[in-house]
Amino acid sequence: MAGTSDAIAGTNQRTILLTRLATAAIQAIALYLLLEASIDRPTWPASHPELFKPLLLISGCVPLIILCGTGQLTGRALAGWAAAAALILAGLGWHDATRGAAPNSPAQEMFWPSWRLLLVTPPLLFVSHVLVTDALMEHRLMPPYRRHFDTAWKIGLQGLLAGAFLAVFWGMLTLGAGLFKLLNVTLFVELLQKRWFAIPATTLALAAAIHATDVQPALIRGTRTMVVTLFAWLLPLLALILLGFLACLPILSLAPLWGTHFAAGLLLAAAALMVALINAAYQDGSTERPAVQQWAARLGALELLPLVGLAAWALGLRVGQYGWTTDRVLAAAAILVAAVHALGYTAAVFGRPWMQRLERTNEATAWLAVAVALALFSPLADPGRLMVADQLARLSRGDVTPEHLDYRALRFDGAKWGQAALADLAAAPETASRAQAAIALRARNGGQQQTPDGRAAHIDVFPPDRTLPPQMLADGAPWLTALPYYSCLTPNNPNHCQARFVRLSPEQEEMILLITAPQAFLLAPDANGKWRVRGELAGKLHCLDLAKALATGDLTTAPHGQPDIVVGATRYSITPPRGGDCPKS
């Protein structure tokens, strides 16, 4: 197949290697500077997330485009694609920084890109690079499917092999440092911990690995043939499993399926696996496949429609009951892409030659997936905006009462749209108290009981004749942000917290020892009367003796077995290891 890559094939390999190494070096410098600005005490540009996030995404992703595109595209084409990708990544990072997301806890650093954006960026970059690279090489928007197949598998296997190379590379460095440490030579251990060494070593090793696999095309083709041939034989097994599952649906009740609360995700995972195995059997369409794989591919393609339909049904039930959330918006986007796959593959079953129509289906869904991802992570279809609009509409229609509106979701999932909605709700009499309580929350899982009386009802106080100070239970008390994700103050949790008034020494003030399961805190008020965490208990908190001691008052104090260590101005306490067996009485 003639293309731009043929003209580049004779390019001096030394020039290509030097280009890749230079790209890796520039990437290392950029990442080092960005990480230095964000570690410990954030400085510029980490102090400006709207700048830091785009720079981090560009520094992490654009060099990968150059590493993979060098030797495939001309310099002008590669520069244009890299510039376009940088603009898109900058836009995604800027929106992520300016959408006004609330931190899940006061300690969360908001200059890092959100985990959802970090999760979707690699597959978005991979699919986009394949589509754009092939279009540029073939000088047309819809290149032959065989070109897509070759490029996608080449880049995918290069990534896997480069990842394995990096793992072995760092394993060898760690082994070498450990060997020298046996001789009391700690220089190499300290060297591996330095960012100025670790970051360039990683980027340069990655560039070398990509170059090594790029100049050995036979290695890629051989590995690709082995992998797709192996996995294609799993297609008949999966087709039979899904056939049995679908055959049981008319006979058995669907209630157990809906009762799992994750049916849509599981069904979509099954559909995605089926699509992958069908493509492993089809490959680029140039090879005749065994009859059993052909029939399994036809059967699997027909099974996609009911699988995706059931996933849409499951999602629709949850949306009908509780409305849209950010997770359900993302699930709907995945179902949309899966539905196009299912329709296209069903049409391919009845086409000739065998399953050929899936080629255009794959290309169309690839472009659709890119467009959907860009819409979801931009103002166009931000899940937070869509969720807030739907929840407010449900409230206005009476589908949900003010008591059952999810104010916490508006606070922590609705971004700036949720904050604006809470401000409006705080001005309405019927929603004011709950909206104000949600606005006062500083942590998603802090202060799980939203009223002081609710918190008091979930805490058993010892001695029984004492009561907890009202300031401790007040909304916005700082100690509430330290609560673990699933504590005794979580709504509908049958377990109670335990609180004991204690005085660690005669000269110290009285504090409260609070067991929240699975953590224990020492609480005391500050100079302004705000109750804060003064310390956290370390030890065997799972032992029953602790709970009994709180109830009976069988508590004593003992000095530290080991002195504290002071490094500079920081004090470190030596505590016994956690876990293990409980002491025998």
The better pLDDT of the pair 306, 521 is held by 306
Nearest to 557 by CA among 528, 535, 542: 535
Between the CA of residue 253 and those of 12, 354, 545, what are the distances in Å?
65, 36, 48
Q: Is the pLDDT of residue 230 over 80?
A: yes
- Name the packing angle between helices 49-69 and 115-138 (round to 10°): 40
Query: What does the alpha-carbon distance between residue 522 and residue 511 come to, in Å, rounded to a whole number?
Result: 7
Residues 100-114 have a mean pLDDT of 84
Percent with pLDDT over 70 in the chain: 87
Length in residues, the chain: 585
pLDDT at 1: 45
Scanning 263-382, the segments in alpha helix (DSSP H) are 263-282, 291-322, 326-349, 358-376
Q: Is the pLDDT of residue 568 over 90?
A: no
pLDDT at 442: 73
Residues 316-338 have a mean pLDDT of 93
Q: How many helices (DSSP H) and strands (DSSP E) are in the chain?
A: 22, 7
The better pLDDT of the pair 41, 154 is held by 154
Q: Tokens 């001789």 — which residue?
A: 183
Beta strand 459-462 pairing with 497-502? parallel
pLDDT at 6: 45
Nearest to 445 by CA among 519, 394, 386, 525: 519
- The Cβ of residue 222 has, within 10 Å, a number of other Cβ atoms equal to 11
| DSSP code of residue 262 | -
Q: Are 545 and 537 in contact (CB under 8 A)?
A: no
Between CA 205 and CA 212, with CA 208 as vertex, the angle to 5 degrees is: 140
Per-residue pLDDT tens for 372-417?
A: 999 999 999 999 999 999 999 999 999 989 988 989 899 999 999 9
- Phi, psi values for residue 288, rounded to 5°: -70, 130
The better pLDDT of the pair 459, 197 is held by 197
- The Cβ of residue 118 has, within 10 Å, a number of other Cβ atoms equal to 14
Please report which confidence band the pLDDT of residue 130 belongs to, taking 50, 70 and 90 as the band edges. very high
Contacts by 524-527, CB closer than 8 A, 24 or more apart: 525/469, 525/471, 525/472
Q: Which two tokens stand for residue 28?
A: 């290392």
Residues 348-362 have a mean pLDDT of 90
Query: What does the alpha-carbon distance between residue 539 and residue 251 come to, in Å, rounded to a whole number?
Result: 53
Q: Are 114 and 376 in contact (CB under 8 A)?
A: no
Q: Which two tokens stand for residue 179?
A: 């060997």
Q: Are 98 and 52 in contact (CB under 8 A)?
A: no
Q: Is the pLDDT of residue 447 over 70?
A: no
Residues 10-19 have a mean pLDDT of 82
Q: What is the largest CA-CA distance in the chain?
A: 89
Q: Is the pLDDT of residue 337 over 90?
A: yes
Would you put residue 355 in left (φ > 0), alpha (ψ -120 to 50) or beta?
left
Q: Which two tokens stand for residue 89?
A: 């990544």
pLDDT at 518: 64
Between CA 337 and CA 77, with CA 376 as vertex, the angle to 5 degrees is: 85
The better pLDDT of the pair 98, 543 is held by 98
Residues 349-353 have a mean pLDDT of 87
Query: What does the alpha-carbon distance between residue 179 and residue 424 come to, in Å, rounded to a whole number?
Result: 64
Half-sphere exposure of 99 toward its Cβ, with a 13 Å CA cutoff?
31
Would you put residue 572 in left (φ > 0), alpha (ψ -120 to 50) or beta?
beta
Q: Are 340 and 366 in contact (CB under 8 A)?
A: no
Query: What does the alpha-carbon distance between residue 539 and residue 61 come to, in Å, rounded to a whole number?
Result: 44
Residue type (1 letter), 324: W
| DSSP code of residue 497 | E
Q: Which two tokens stand for residue 202?
A: 């990683």
pLDDT at 570: 63
Q: Are 42 and 109 in contact (CB under 8 A)?
A: yes
Mean pLDDT of the chain: 86
Please give the distance of CA 378 from its chain centroid, rounded to a whole number.
Answer: 18
Query: What does the alpha-carbon distance between residue 301 and residue 362 come to, in Å, rounded to a whole number?
Result: 13
Residues 37-59 have a mean pLDDT of 91
N-terminal to C-terminal alpha carbon distance within the chain: 80
Positive/negative CA dihedral, 298, 301, 302, 303: positive
The better pLDDT of the pair 94, 497 is held by 94
Nearest to 193 by CA among 170, 212, 211: 170
Report the predicted TM-score, pTM, of the whole model to 2 decimal places.
Answer: 0.75
Scanning 183-233, the segments in alpha helix (DSSP H) are 187-192, 195-214, 217-232
Q: Which two tokens stand for residue 169?
A: 């590379």
Q: Are 505 and 557 in contact (CB under 8 A)?
A: yes
Residues 545-572 have a mean pLDDT of 65
pLDDT at 214: 83
Q: Worst-scoring range by mean pLDDT, 13-17, 214-218, 464-468? A: 214-218
| DSSP code of residue 261 | S
E-strand ranges in 339-471 read 459-462
Query: What does the alpha-carbon distance between residue 146 and residue 54 come to, in Å, rounded to a whole number?
Result: 34
pLDDT at 17: 92
Give me Rg for the CA atoms of the chain.
Answer: 29
pLDDT at 13: 83
- The Cβ of residue 335 has, within 10 Å, a number of other Cβ atoms equal to 22
pLDDT at 582: 55
- Phi, psi values for residue 564, rounded to 5°: -75, 155
Question: Which residues, at least 6 apart from 255, have a Cβ–Cβ distance to it below 8 Å?
Answer: none
Q: Is the pLDDT of residue 422 over 90?
A: yes
Q: Are 391 and 324 in contact (CB under 8 A)?
A: yes
Percent with pLDDT over 90 in the chain: 55
Please report which confidence band the pLDDT of residue 254 belongs to, taking 50, 70 and 90 as the band edges. confident
